[in-house]
Amino acid sequence: MKTVLAACVLCVLSSSEAFAAERPNIVVCIADDISWDDFGCYGSRTARTPRIDALAANGLRFTEAYLTASSCSPSRSSIITGRYPHNLGPAAELHQPIAANIPWLPTVLREHGYYTAVIGKNHMTRENAKVGAETWDLIDPGVTPDNHGAEAKWVQTIEQRPKDKPFFFWFAAVDAHRGWDANKEWVESKYGPQHRPQDITVPSFLADDAATREDLASYHNEVTRFDYFVGQVADALAAQGVLDNTLLLVLADNGRPFPRAKTRLHDSGMKTALVAHWPAGIAKRGSTSASLVSVIDIAPTLLELAGVKSPPPSFQGLSFAPVLRDPQNITRRHAFSEHNWHDYEAHGRAVRSDGWLYIRNARPALAWQGPADSVRSPAHAALKALRDANKLTPAQADVFLAPRPNEELYLTAKDPEQLRNLATDPAHAAIKTRLAALLDQWIDETGDAVPDKLTADTFDRESGDPLDRSKTNAKAERGEFPGKPKNAARINAPGPQ
Ligand SMILES: [Ca+2]
C-alpha cells in the first residue's frame, strides 16, 4: 500500500502541471561566431548591444566562461550533451554527428515535461539516426525572406507554445557568421544606424586598414541584429508574464570569424560571453561572477534547475546553479578546450586554471591561420598583403606562424590578447609543470588521444578554396577522430574540475 501511495505521489509531482509553476522556463540565445569582448557589457567600445547589456545589468554576467571548442558544430554538440568534444564520437570534428549512445539535454528535459524547440541554426546531428520528436517538439531553421539571421521566428515560438508546460527553447542565430546579410536586410528603425568603419576598434592582430574596418563593421551589424532579437525575446516573455521565472542565457558558439579568433584556443576564440537573466532565481541582480565556467556545465545546471534528480551519467560538466544563488560561489577550478579538424588538420589542447592558460599543440608544424571562411575574408587578405610586404607586427605574424610552439603559456589577466608566450620562461616553469600535469590527467581520464592519421586539410591554406573536389567524397577522406582510439564516446569520467 505504501509503495502504491508513494508511486502516486511521485506520479503527481512529476506531472508537468505540478511543476510548471515552480520550475523555470529556459531560453538559450546562442549567437554564431561572436567573440566574448564584442558585447558592450564585456567592454567593447565598438559594439552596440543595448538589450544584452540590459539583461546583464538586471541579471548575472560571467567573466570567466569558456567554450570547449571554437568551432561551430563541435561547440554546440558539446553544450547540448554536456560533454567534451573528444567524448562525442565523430562530432569532435566540424559537421560530424554525435555518437548515438549519448543523451541530449533537450531529450531529458522533454522526458521531464518540458516543451522543447530549436529555432534557427541547427548544427547538431546524431550518428545513424535522424534527430526528431524524441528530442525537439519543434524544429525550425527560422530563416525568413527578410531575415537570414534565423531570428525572426523566436517571438512566434514563445507566443504559440503550449501554455501548460515549462519550456526549453534553443534560439540559435546565424548572426554573426559570414556572409554579411545583415547589411542588406538592415532595418534602421529597429537596429539603429549601421556601424561605421571609422568607429571600429581593430584588434592588434588584424591590419588596421579600410577593408578590415569595413569587414569588422559588417560583423558588428550582425552582432547588433542578434542583440535586437534577444531583446524581442525578453519583451515577448515579459508580455506573457513569464519573464520572471525564465532563465535566459546569452552566449556564442565560438569567436569572431576573423584571423586569430574562430578555431583558436586563445581567448579571442574560446572565451565566451555568458549572461544569465532570471529575476526569480538570481539572488543579486546586476552582479558579475568570476567563477570559472565551462559550457559543458550548462546542461547539468539546467537539469538541476529543472528538478531532474538522476540525470544520465553521460553529462561531464558541473552545475553552476550555486553561482546563480550567490555570485561569490566558485564551482569550477579548471576549464579544458580543444582544437580539432575544422577545414584544416589540427590537434591542440588547452587548460585554464588560476588565471593561466596553457596550450599544447600536437601538430606544431601547421599554422593556425583560422577556418576557410576567415582565410577568404578581406581582413585575412589585408594581413597577407602586409606579410608579402614584410610589414607584419609579431601579433599579426602569429596568424601565419609555422612551425608554432609545442607549448604556450599565458597569464591572461595581464596579457588579454595572449601575445607574450611564457612557456620557455624559467620563472614560470613550476606553473607550466602544474598545468601540463592537469592536462595529462584530463587526457588520461577522459580518453583523449592523438591518432596518427588525423583528418587532413580539405581546404587550401593560402586561398581558403576547397581542395580538389573531384577526388572526394569528404567522408571517404576522413581520418581518425581524437576520441576513437580509446572509444571515448563511452567514457563519462569528467577529469579534473
Ligand atoms: Ca559558429
The predicted-structure confidence for 39-80, as pLDDT tens digits, reads as follows 999 999 998 999 999 999 999 999 999 999 999 999 999 999
What confidence category does residue 17 fall into, taking pLDDT thresholds of 50, 70 and 90? very low
Express each pLDDT in 126-137 by its tens digit: 999 899 899 999
DSSP state of 66: E
| pLDDT at residue 98 greater than cutoff 70 | yes
Pick the CATH number of 20-322 from 3.40.720.10, 2.40.50.140, 3.30.470.10, 3.40.50.2300: 3.40.720.10
Q: How far is the CA of 402 from the centre of ligand 1 (A)?
A: 25
Q: What is the mean pLDDT of residues 176-198?
A: 97
Q: Which residues place a Cβ less than 5 A from the ion ligand 1? A: 32-33, 72, 253-254
What confidence category does residue 269 fall into, taking pLDDT thresholds of 50, 70 and 90? very high
The pLDDT assigned to 283 comes to 87
- 3-state secondary structure string across 254-289: CCCCCCCCCCCCCHHHHECCEEEECCCCCCCCCEEE
Amino acid letter, 245: N
What confidence category does residue 8 fall into, taking pLDDT thresholds of 50, 70 and 90? very low
- For residue 399, give the C-alpha cell: 596568424
The pLDDT assigned to 477 comes to 77
Q: Is 452 exposed, middle or buried (0-12, 13-18, 19+ CB in 10 A)?
A: exposed
Give the percent of the chain with pLDDT over 90.
92
82-96, 123-137, 221-235: least confidently modelled range? 123-137
Q: How far is the CA of 32 from the centre of ligand 1 (A)?
A: 4
Report how far residue 42's alpha carbon sits from residue 32's, in angstroms, rounded to the nearest whole number. 17
Q: What angle do CA 145, 179, 468 make, to 5 degrees?
A: 115
The pLDDT assigned to 476 comes to 53
- 3-state secondary structure string across 470-496: HHCCCCCCCCCCCCCCCCHHHCCCCCC
| pLDDT at residue 422 greater than cutoff 60 | yes
Sign for the CA dihedral angle at 385, 388, 389, 395 comes to positive
Q: How far is the CA of 83 from the centre of ligand 1 (A)?
A: 18
| pLDDT at residue 20 greater than cutoff 70 | no
Report how far residue 432's alpha carbon sits from residue 410's, in angstroms, rounded to the nearest whole number. 10
What confidence category does residue 471 fall into, taking pLDDT thresholds of 50, 70 and 90? low
Express each pLDDT in 352-372 by its tens digit: 999 999 999 999 999 999 999
* CA distances for 318 relative to 82, 108, 197, 404, angstroms: 9, 17, 41, 33
| pLDDT at residue 469 greater than cutoff 70 | no
Q: How far is the CA of 495 from the centre of ligand 1 (A)?
A: 26
Q: How far is the CA of 68 from the centre of ligand 1 (A)?
A: 13
Sequence ranges of the domains in the chain: 20-322, 338-490
Q: How far is the CA of 119 from the centre of ligand 1 (A)?
A: 15
Q: How far is the CA of 72 from the centre of ligand 1 (A)?
A: 4
pTM: 0.94
The pLDDT assigned to 13 comes to 45
Q: How far is the CA of 31 from the centre of ligand 1 (A)?
A: 8
Which H or E run includes 168? strand 167-172
| pLDDT at residue 1 greater than cutoff 70 | no
Q: How far is the CA of 364 from the centre of ligand 1 (A)?
A: 24
Q: How far is the CA of 30 from the centre of ligand 1 (A)?
A: 10
175: nearest Cα among 140, 112, 222: 222
The pLDDT assigned to 22 comes to 84
DSSP state of 210: H
- For residue 199, give the C-alpha cell: 568607429
315-329, 379-393, 424-438, 472-486: least confidently modelled range? 472-486
Express each pLDDT in 449-465 by its tens digit: 999 999 999 999 999 99
Report how far residue 153's alpha carbon sits from residue 172's, in angstroms, rounded to the nearest whole number. 11
| pLDDT at residue 234 greater than cutoff 70 | yes
Q: How far is the CA of 75 from the centre of ligand 1 (A)?
A: 8
Q: How far is the CA of 177 from the centre of ligand 1 (A)?
A: 6
Identify the three-state secondary structure at position 329: coil
* CB within 8 Å of 98: residues ≥ 6 apart: 77, 81, 88, 89, 90, 91, 104, 124, 125, 126, 127
